[in-house]
A and B are shown apart, each in its own frame.
Chain A
Amino acid sequence: MSNGLRDVAIVGVGATPYYKRGGSAPQTITELAGKAILAACEDAGISVKDIDGFAYYSGAGAGYGDKMDTADFMETLGIPEVTFTASLTSGGGGSAGAIGLARAAIVAGEATTVVTVMALQQQKQRLGTVFAASAPNPTNSFLQPSGLAGPGHLMSVLARRHMHLYGTTRDAFAEIAISERQNALNRPKAIQKNPLTKEEYFNGRMIADPLCLYDFCMETEGAVAVITTSVDRAKDLRQKPVPVVAVAHGGRREWGRAFAWYGMPDEYFASAGNAPIAKRLYEQSGLSAKDIDVALLYDHFSPMVLMQLEDYGFCERGEGGAFVESGAIRYDGGSIPVNTHGGQLSEAYIIGMTHIMEAVEQMRGTAINQVEDAEFALATGGPASLPVSGLILGRAA
């Protein structure tokens, strides 16, 4: 049986505080990202001058309209030379996969110490209406006039189809929002620190029916950075290295641009597009869903958590509703604790990076909501236009 990739490891994680929309001003994107990178270097016990590679996702975009740039980081942080700087394409679907881009650079000998970073501010453009705000172009002219103004509006159409095909109800989405909120309550950095009741959930404003306010991730700001290096180099650093057991990005044409084109055949339409990624991760690692101890599933919108549970094989296709309503994803007593950090629904939304950080802390055994004896953690990138992505980390050793 395969033991997984295990040729690179995550050796450092760092983050800024998390802020509500507008709250991180007057800091700049470069400043937020720089603070996260320096914190990750401190965590790893390396100098920032040791960084020689950058592996981004989302086209190195920083939220909606801002950009990160390696030359800016070199100039402001004093990084002497880089030998690799590249990004995955498209958006938040690549977050977990960016660790695979870092791995590709390291395994190919192009770089030794690679940082993946995301910094997000939403003053110029908020996530919630990002599609409505785009200038009209020949492609989005087939989407924008519909009034589906943001990604949550668009994904509510996928959720409706899932409800139609499989009888899924809003009770399942409520359970995802409520259980994630529960996980955020004891976290000092979480934005949401009050419990969410079922009554509050069902009284929540309907933004794009079948989804309400509590199904939407928060519009937050901040930065998170992760440092990846070879397992050999990792042995000499401050933390016990967390090995990359499997990592993949990509996806199939049937999913394609997903909710930006809606041409998916039925078996993909009411999914998260991650099934091909799950297959590759399990082939690389020799693992299956039952081996995963904690799942950090990209939760921009609650139904996409449910559909990822199906894509990754934690339950059968169409059974996600009953699965979550059984309590299976609870930290307290669930068979597969999901988003033990509170996720993007309740801790903070940094376009997938908090999931990677939580996976690392779980594998170090230092998570605030530590899953006892956890050996494998899954972190995923956001169901969106391809690529989508996934990452399995192993227990630190």
Chain B
Amino acid sequence: MSDIVATPLPGETVQITTDPHTEPFWQAAKEERLVACQCADCGHFRMPPTPFCPECQSTEKKWPELSGRGTVYSFAVVHGFPGLPDITVVGAVIDLEGAAPARLVTNVVDIDPDEVVIGMDVEVRFSPISDGWKLPVFRPVTD
């Protein structure tokens, strides 16, 4: 146990950019909906969103809304970030419920970093970042 609570990076320090293939993901996040890129022809999920489906090479995409739940696939407890020497963030790879094999690289937040374990159930929350965007991050499932 420690008295540290894992947070995202401060929102004003986080910038993203988009292109036509990734923008639907970020627009949905702005509305606090977690979606993933799915091939509209064969149904294969892929993240990050890319121009072609790697299974069937289709360029047709759909963006189903997910449950927002996931499990921690792996993670690291990072101490310090350039310009933020005292911050502790948990960088994590999350298996997204309903979108396998797609994963999201994100943060586990609102938890003592010592209590994060592989396989734990987490749910999305959205954290404001620069330019009005929101970042999906994950906290322990509470219910």
| Chain A residues proximal to chain B, CB less than 8 Å | 129, 132-133, 136-139, 141-149, 153, 156-158, 160-161, 164, 205-211, 253, 261-263, 265, 269
Q: How large is the interface on B (under 10, 10 to 19, 20 to 34, 35 or more residues)?
A: 35 or more
**A164, B118: Cα distance in complex, Å:** 7
Q: Are B16 and A139 in contact (CB under 8 A)?
A: no
**A156, B47: Cα distance in complex, Å:** 21
Q: List 16 A-B contacts (CB under 8 A).
A: A137-B17, A138-B19, A141-B18, A145-B129, A146-B105, A147-B9, A147-B78, A147-B107, A148-B91, A157-B92, A160-B75, A206-B79, A209-B77, A209-B78, A262-B103, A265-B101
Q: Are A132 and B74 in contact (CB under 8 A)?
A: no
Task: Kindly list chain A residues whose C-beta atoms are within 8 Å of the C-beta of B80.
Answer: 207
Closest B residue to A270 by CB, please name it.
Answer: B74
Q: Given A138-B19, A145-B9, A148-B91 in contact, is the A206-B74 Cβ separation under 8 Å?
A: no
CB distance from A186 to the nearest CB of B (A): 34
Closest B residue to A141 by CB, please name it.
Answer: B16
B70-112 near A? 1/0 per residue, CB < 8 Å: 0001111111111000010101110000000111111100000
**A132, B14: Cα distance in complex, Å:** 10
Q: Of B75, B82, B104, B135, which one neighbours A129 at CB under 8 angstroms?
A: B82
Q: Are B81 and A147 in contact (CB under 8 A)?
A: yes
| Cross-chain pair count, CB within 8 angstroms | 110
Q: Of B18, B21, B118, which one neighbours A160 at CB under 8 angstroms?
A: B118
User: B43 at the A/B interface (Cβ < 8 Å)?
Assistant: no
Closest A residue to B129 by CB, please name it.
Answer: A145
Q: Are B18 and A148 in contact (CB under 8 A)?
A: no
Task: Kindly list chain A residues whose C-beta atoms are within 8 Å of the C-beta of B14.
Answer: 144-145
Q: Besides A136-B16, A145-B106, A269-B73, 7 other CB < 8 A contacts?
A: A145-B107, A149-B78, A149-B81, A153-B78, A153-B91, A161-B118, A207-B80
**A207, B89: Cα distance in complex, Å:** 11
CB distance from A65 to the nearest CB of B (A): 15
Task: Kindly list chain A residues whose C-beta atoms are within 8 Å of the C-beta of B75.
Answer: 157, 160
Closest B residue to A206 by CB, please name it.
Answer: B79
B13-44 near A? 1/0 per residue, CB < 8 Å: 01111110110001000000000000000000
CB distance from A267 to the nearest CB of B (A): 13
| Chain B residues proximal to chain A, CB less than 8 Å | 8-9, 14-19, 21-22, 26, 46-48, 54, 73-82, 87, 89, 91-93, 101-107, 113, 118, 129, 135
Q: Given A146-B91, A263-B101 in contact, is the A158-B17 Cβ separation under 8 Å?
A: no
Task: Kindly list chain A residues whose C-beta atoms are within 8 Å of the C-beta of B8.
Answer: 145, 147
Closest B residue to A209 by CB, please name it.
Answer: B77
Closest B residue to A253 by CB, please name it.
Answer: B54
**A142, B17: Cα distance in complex, Å:** 10
**A316, B80: Cα distance in complex, Å:** 36
Q: Given A145-B14, A145-B129, A158-B74 in contact, is the A207-B79 Cβ separation under 8 Å?
A: yes
**A156, B75: Cα distance in complex, Å:** 8
Q: Are B105 and A142 in contact (CB under 8 A)?
A: yes
CB distance from A145 to the nearest CB of B (A): 5
Q: Are B48 and A146 in contact (CB under 8 A)?
A: no
Q: Sort A-B residue pairs by CB-CB distance and give the 4 closest, nearest first.
A: A141-B16, A147-B89, A209-B77, A156-B76
Q: Are B74 and A160 in contact (CB under 8 A)?
A: yes
Q: Given A145-B129, A147-B107, A157-B93 in contact, is the A261-B48 Cβ separation under 8 Å?
A: yes
CB distance from B59 to the nearest CB of A (A): 16
**A161, B58: Cα distance in complex, Å:** 32
User: Taking each of A133, A149, A265, A269, which has the highest tally of chain B beta carbons within 10 Å of its own beta carbon?
Assistant: A149
Q: Are B17 and A136 in contact (CB under 8 A)?
A: yes
CB distance from B137 to the nearest CB of A (A): 9
Q: Of A142, A208, A261, which one neighbours B76 at CB under 8 angstroms?
A: A208
Q: Of A138, A164, A262, which one neighbours B18 at CB under 8 angstroms?
A: A138
Q: Of B17, B78, B81, which one neighbours A141 at CB under 8 angstroms?
A: B17
Task: Kindly list chain B residues whose C-beta atoms are within 8 Å of the C-beta of A153.
Answer: 76, 78, 91
Q: Are B82 and A149 in contact (CB under 8 A)?
A: yes
Q: Are A210 and B81 in contact (CB under 8 A)?
A: no
Q: Are A161 and B73 in contact (CB under 8 A)?
A: yes
Q: Given A153-B91, A157-B74, A261-B48 in contact, is the A145-B103 Cβ separation under 8 Å?
A: no
